[in-house]
Amino acid sequence: MHYQLALQQLTDSALPTGAFAHSLGFETYIERGLVHDEASFGVWLSAFVGQQLTYSDGLALRFLYEGVPVAELDCLLTAQLLPRQLREASTKMGNRLLEIGSEAFPSPELTAYR
């Protein structure tokens, strides 16, 4: 039961990783008036999923499926984030998730990865 609760907490959108503090570019689109209503949000979301997620999360899934070691995958995904701010935000969120995950699921692998 402990693992089920921990897994639910790790997948909860309210998990305190700091993700809420990083818009990952969305704020810029709003400030520039590119996203201003439901229709323009739909256009932005479609582009984000079709272009950004495909080459980040989608790429991660492909590499995991192909058996790329996690540490190598981490380096590859960090390198593909070109803006420094995105790399820093991603690193902060990942470190926080690793910290929380290590507490929920203690293991030598997670300890070594930290």
Per-position pLDDT tens, the chain of length 114: 477 877 787 777 777 777 766 666 788 889 999 999 999 999 999 988 888 888 888 888 999 999 999 889 888 888 887 778 878 888 888 888 888 888 888 888 888 877
pLDDT at position 21: 63
| Residue type for position 13 | S
Residue entry with tokens 């309210």: 14
Distance CA 49, CA 57 (A): 10
pLDDT at position 22: 65
pLDDT at position 37: 95
Backbone angles phi, psi at 52, to 5 degrees: -75, -55
pTM of this prediction exceeds 0.75: no
